[in-house]
Structure 1
Amino acid sequence: MFCLIKCSRKKVLAAAAALLCLGGILTAVQQTKAVSGPAYEDLYPDMYVNTGNEFAQEEGKVVYYTFDDGPSQNTIAILDTLKEKGVKATFFVTGQEVSGVDSDAILKRIVDEGHSIGMHTYSHVYQQIYSSVENYLADFYKIRERIIQVTGVEPKIFRFPGGSVKNSFANPAVQKAIRIEMRRRGYLYYDWNLVSGDDKSYMTDTNTLIRNIVNGAQGKDKVVILCHDDPMRVSTAEAVGPVIDQLTEQGYRFEKLTESVEPIQFHNDDEA
């Protein structure tokens, strides 16, 4: 009888020890997950860049001419004018194909002629890319891979579709998580401080765009212009030459965005 009680007690103690051990393992796993962060951090392990921690000192009055939503035939016209004027600009490109246009050739020309190229979006479908961090990363990876395959250059800068501002298609918490994740991966996003007006309507006339940009630059030493070079923005391409001439006369120089340029950003998530 004594032996049975003693044996049973040993089994109970052994079982209890096993449960404690299992509990410890589960707790350790949970803690590891908490430390390692969200699962999407493990996606696309090659999608990291080193952009450094210091920005170059900017002197004088400088303009960064930026174009979103290309490439298209209007990108070609813009590149022709930039070449004629000896000016460099920045193109945040998409993966959309335009009928009758050799998109790959345009991407290569952007790089070959010394301009900056950055990611914008592959699909430009807000509802999809801003629905989750995972979906955003998937879209970003596609346009990144296309740029690398076509140009041989790995871009380190990008612009959010619609900017980093709140939009009706994204939960603010999701947008914030996307911003933090992209920064964790080393990428720099660039917003703007001057809107040309071509985002409101593709029918905005050339003179209005010129006036918007030239007047909007007044009082600013650093100007980042938001323009679009999709197939509908013919007037945007037509405005480039006059804008360069008029702002140059006012003492501005034109530069391209790179990771050494401190970005204008609508959000500061450092306190997050």
Structure 2
Amino acid sequence: MFCLIKCSRKKVLAAAAALLCLGGILTAVQQTKAVSGPAYEDLYPDMYVNTGNEFAQEEGKVVYYTFDDGPSQNTIAILDTLKEKGVKATFFVTGQEVSGVDSDAILKRIVDEGHSIGMHTYSHVYQQIYSSVESYLADFYKIRERIIQVTGVEPKIFRFPGGSVKNSFANPAVQKAIRIEMRRRGYLYYDWNLVSGDDKSYMTDTNTLIRNIVNGAQGKDKVVILCHDDPMRVSTAEAVGPVIDQLTEQGYRFEKLTESVEPIQFHNDDEA
């Protein structure tokens, strides 16, 4: 009888010890998960870049001409003008395919002619890309891979569709999480400080765009122009030459965005 009681006590103590051990393991796992961050941080382990921590000193009056939503036939027209003027620009591209246009050839030409190329997402569908961090990363990875495969260049800069501002299709908390995750992976996003006006309507006439840009640049030493080179923005392409001529006469020089250029951003996620 004494032996049975003693044996039972040993079993109870052993079981209790096992439970304590299991509890410790579970706690350790939970702590590890908390330290390691959200699960999406483990997605796309090759999607990291090193953009450095310092930006180049900018001198004088400089214009960064940027174009979103291409490639299209209008991208070709813009590239022709830029080549004629000896000016470099920046293209934030999508994965769209335009009938009658060799998109891959345009992407390659952008790089071959010395311009900057960056990601603007593959689909440009706000409801989809801004639904979660995972959705944004999946779309971003797709356009990143295409650019690398076509051009041989790994882009380090990008622009959010609609910019980094709040939009009606995204939860602000999700947008902030996306910004933080992209920065953690080393990528730099660029907003703008001058809107050409072609975002309001594809029917905006050429002279209006020229006037918007030239007048909007006044008083600024650093100008990042938002334009669009999708298939409908013919007037945007037509405005490029006159804009370059007029701003050059006013003492501006034209440069392309790279990771060495300090970005204009609508948000500072380091602030509380």
Could you list the per-position Cα deviations for residues 186-223 of structure 1 after superposition, in whole angstroms to 9, with x for gaps in the alignment? 00000000000000000000000000000000000000
Could you list the per-position Cα deviations for residues 201-260 of structure 1 after superposition, in whole angstroms to 9, with x for gaps in the alignment? 000000000000000000000000000000000000000000000000000000000000
Could you list the per-position Cα deviations for residues 1-46 of structure 1 after superposition, in whole angstroms to 9, with x for gaps in the alignment? 2211111111110000000000000000000000000000000000
User: Normalised by the size of structure 1, how large is the TM-score?
Assistant: 0.99
Counterpart Cα distance in 2 of 1:270 and 1:188: 15
Counterpart Cα distance in 2 of 1:239 and 1:35: 51
Report how far residue 110 of structure 1 moved.
0.2
Report how far residue 76 of structure 1 moved.
0.3
Could you list the per-position Cα deviations for residues 150-201 of structure 1 after superposition, in whole angstroms to 9, with x for gaps in the alignment? 0000000000000000000000000000000000000000000000000000
Counterpart Cα distance in 1 of 2:247 and 2:16: 79
Report how far residue 70 of structure 1 moved.
0.2
Counterpart Cα distance in 1 of 2:96 and 2:76: 16
- For 2:35, the equivalent position in structure 1 comes to 35
Unaligned segments of structure 2, at least 5 residues: none
Report how far residue 270 of structure 1 moved.
1.2
Report how far residue 126 of structure 1 moved.
0.3
Could you list the per-position Cα deviations for residues 74-103 of structure 1 after superposition, in whole angstroms to 9, with x for gaps in the alignment? 000000000000000000000000000000
Counterpart Cα distance in 1 of 2:127 and 2:113: 34
Counterpart Cα distance in 1 of 2:234 and 2:39: 43
Counterpart Cα distance in 1 of 2:71 and 2:85: 20
Counterpart Cα distance in 2 of 1:116 and 1:184: 22
Change (3 A) 1:10 1:271: farther
Counterpart Cα distance in 1 of 2:156 and 2:39: 23
Counterpart Cα distance in 2 of 1:58 and 1:95: 32
Report how far residue 271 of structure 1 moved.
3.4
Unaligned segments of structure 1, at least 5 residues: none
1:199-218 aligned at under 5 Å gives the runs 199-218=199-218
User: Normalised by the size of structure 2, how large is the TM-score?
Assistant: 0.99
Aligned residue pairs, count: 272
2:96 is the counterpart of 1:96 = yes
Report how far residue 114 of structure 1 moved.
0.2
Report how far residue 115 of structure 1 moved.
0.2
Counterpart Cα distance in 1 of 2:175 and 2:207: 35
Runs of 4+ residues over 6 Å off in structure 1: none
- SS of 1:62's equivalent? strand
Counterpart Cα distance in 2 of 1:210 and 1:108: 28
Change (3 A) 1:16 1:115: same
Counterpart Cα distance in 2 of 1:213 and 1:270: 31
Counterpart Cα distance in 1 of 2:5 and 2:30: 37
- For 2:179, the equivalent position in structure 1 comes to 179
Counterpart Cα distance in 2 of 1:5 and 1:58: 84
Counterpart Cα distance in 2 of 1:253 and 1:197: 22
- SS of 2:261's equivalent? coil
- SS of 2:106's equivalent? helix
Task: Report % sequence identity.
Answer: 100
- SS of 1:64's equivalent? strand
